[in-house]
Chain A
Amino acid sequence: MKKQTLLAAALLALGGFSGAALADLTVAIAGPMTGQYASAGDQIRKGAEMAIADINARGGVLGQKLKLEVGDDACDPKQAVSVANTMVNKGIVYMHGHWCSSSTIPASDVYADADILVATVSTNPQVTERGLPNVFRIMGRDDQQGLVAGGYIADNFKDRKVAVVDDKSAYGKGLADEMAKAMSDKGLKPSLRESITAGERDYSSLIAKFKQAGVDVMAFGGYHTEVALILRQAQAAGLQLTVMGGDTMTNAELVTAAGPAADNVLFTFSPDARKNPDAAPVVEKFRAAKVEPEGYVLYAYAAMQLFEQVATAANSTKYADLEKAMRGGNFKTVIGDLAFGPKGDLNVPGFVVYRWQGGQYDYVK
């Protein structure tokens, strides 16, 4: 009996080794694969899987095939740190993640200690403001995003009453604060400043408060799930609410959940990568695979392309070489050309205002 167990263990160990030998380079994604925001995790996974299949079909990176590890932090900061430790143990050389700012901030410290390169889409300024050399952001920052969103509100809704609402998360509060600041700077003071608890279902009390104060524009820092519920309940209570949100509103789930009320949602996001002519073949490929390359799908794809090009430019997969190549280069990806400043932020992080209309989002005219 004991012999058999030993034998099994030995076989397992052998299997493990041969597995490791086949997968030469391990790269990882991490984000909310489960939990409330799992649909975003799903986008990241689909984008990364497609990119890795394409890269491996081209012969891999420096002759080595890529293998993808998927970490699930459920947008929980504690779980994010444990995911980070697991990934370090798995010997990854590159991380695209995490997604929620509140996960990325603690997890990136772990990657910094282990010398692992990180490319994230988290938008909270603190992600790159802490001086970690390994953290790069392939998306804009909330202070830039808030400036555009808040400015738009101040310019277009001058004579309306605006409430600024956040969901108390690192991302949501950061964005809402920046929007409020940008509005005030342009001379439009928010009439209400409120916070909600993410994951809650009932916003009738908040909506009654809006009606009492005569508010019909909401600047929102948070995720699309809450916006959908607020819109639906506002409509039931007879309040036509216009919402201005951030990059998380790209999720088409907003439309399924909010119904026609979603047409009242404006948001800021980087210029639509799907409109980028260079991205057309990849976009076609996603659509052929029945994946709409919305939101973070192309970002995840681009993050993997970025690694391919950085490693090729560095001609090495050692951390120091990769970091140097990352800072020096200009990389062509499906989301456009990427070049990084000293903090690890993008040099040209454009934000544009979009509007949902009949289930599609497009630039505001």
Chain B
Amino acid sequence: MAYALQQLINGLTLGAMYGLIAIGYTMVYGIIGMINFAHGDIFMVSAFIAVTAFTLLAAADVTSIPLALSFVLIVAIFFTSAYGWAVERTAYRPLRGSTRLAPLISAIGMSIFLQNTVQLTQGARVKPIPPVLEGGLVLWDTPAFAVQISWSQMLIIVTTVTLMVAFTWMITQTPFGRQQRSCEQDRTMAALLGVNVDRTISLTFMLGAALAAVAGVMVTVYYGVVDFFIGFLVGIKAFTAAVLGGIGSLPGAMLGGLLIGLIESFWAAYLWAEYKDVATFGILCLVLMLRPSGLLGRPEVEKV
């Protein structure tokens, strides 16, 4: 029982992280109908920015953890959003209106470009930071097994929940959310009604990148190690989460992320860890067979 609880905590942390990144995929798909394969690498870039910021702070002798974390978060969000904007501006906007495949290929190219740029400028070696948040709470101490939740796990779960609430509010309640939804439904009509479509799309990319930045900072704090390759597998898992939850749906991305995190950790805990990914993708296939638009997705209505 204690063991299961520990695995639940591990799964939730992992799932929250997948979910944060999955939202970036889902928002972009929702608004321009393309998979932004460079999103995983944007996440990787943000982790590097976080490492740089942490190193700067260490050089400046900042010891207050809340102060350090908020500084790193702000720096990472700022620069990563700039990356998100630049990627959209250079790789996707010139291709808007061409075939659906063109931006997809461009996205893959962007992903390789970002990966190699970071490798060349930062080196291929892993970049470690000393532990930022050490320790945690022992929730339940049975003789056989002590259930622990570390501060960084708590930080990840709390931040994710807060951001989810904030984003749902933004999309459903604010003028920007309204513009975003209008672009999602019909770009031409939205433009005719005075919505600045280009600006809305740019902002969507920046918001997705900002969320990836939060995830990047969390990963840096939690695992303490980053390298230029971390975006790849996480990107694929997060993309899967977005599809599982129903691509285009915000709560779906979060649900998909959590499900994948939980499936991974429980499958590895009780069954064979080597079939963990098989299980994840097997369940994805099953869900897509029964609900082709994902768990919370709406079937796409062909626009006439």
Show the binding face of A for B, using Cβ within 8 Å. Answer: 34-36, 38-39, 41-42, 168, 194-197, 199-202, 204-206, 208-209, 211-212, 225, 228-229, 232-233, 236-238, 253, 256-257, 259
A sample of 23 inter-chain contacts (CB < 8 A) reads: A34-B124, A35-B229, A39-B125, A168-B274, A194-B274, A197-B277, A199-B233, A201-B219, A201-B230, A201-B233, A202-B13, A205-B273, A208-B3, A211-B145, A212-B3, A228-B126, A232-B223, A233-B223, A236-B131, A253-B125, A256-B125, A259-B130, A259-B224
Shortest distance in angstroms between B103's beta carbon and chain A's nearest beta carbon?
Answer: 24
Name B23-68 residues within 8 Å CB distance of A.
none
The answer to whether A229 touches B229 (Cβ under 8 A) is no
Question: For residue B128, which residues in chain A have a CB less than 8 angstroms away from its CB?
Answer: 256-257, 259
The answer to whether A257 touches B225 (Cβ under 8 A) is yes
The answer to whether B13 touches A204 (Cβ under 8 A) is yes
The answer to whether A36 touches B265 (Cβ under 8 A) is no
**Is B255 at the interface (CB under 8 A from chain A)?**
no
Shortest distance in angstroms between B276's beta carbon and chain A's nearest beta carbon?
Answer: 7
Chain A proximity mask over B144-156: 1 for CB below 8 Å, otherwise 0: 1110101000000
**Is B6 at the interface (CB under 8 A from chain A)?**
yes
Known: A39-B125, A232-B223, A256-B125. A197 touches B276 (CB 8 A): yes
Chain A proximity mask over B211-240: 1 for CB below 8 Å, otherwise 0: 000000001000111010110111000000
Most buried by B among A34, A201, A228, A237: A201
Contact of A205 among B11, B150, B223 (CB under 8 A): B11
The answer to whether B273 touches A256 (Cβ under 8 A) is no
Shortest distance in angstroms between B121's beta carbon and chain A's nearest beta carbon?
Answer: 13
Tell me how many residues of B have a C-beta within 8 Å of chain A: 41
Shortest distance in angstroms between A14's beta carbon and chain B's nearest beta carbon?
Answer: 31
Complex Cα distance, B87 from A323, in Å, reads 52
**Is B269 at the interface (CB under 8 A from chain A)?**
yes
Shortest distance in angstroms between A221's beta carbon and chain B's nearest beta carbon?
Answer: 12
**Is B106 at the interface (CB under 8 A from chain A)?**
no
The answer to whether B119 touches A38 (Cβ under 8 A) is yes
The 10 closest A-B pairs by CB, nearest first: A38-B124, A195-B274, A204-B10, A205-B265, A205-B268, A36-B229, A257-B126, A199-B233, A257-B225, A208-B6
Known: A39-B124, A229-B223, A253-B126. A197 touches B145 (CB 8 A): no
The answer to whether B125 touches A36 (Cβ under 8 A) is no
Shortest distance in angstroms between B280's beta carbon and chain A's nearest beta carbon?
Answer: 10
The answer to whether A212 touches B225 (Cβ under 8 A) is no
Shortest distance in angstroms between B284's beta carbon and chain A's nearest beta carbon?
Answer: 16
The answer to whether A256 touches B126 (Cβ under 8 A) is yes
Closest residue to B126 on the A side, CB-wise?
A257
**Is B159 at the interface (CB under 8 A from chain A)?**
no
Complex Cα distance, B150 from A205, in Å, reads 14
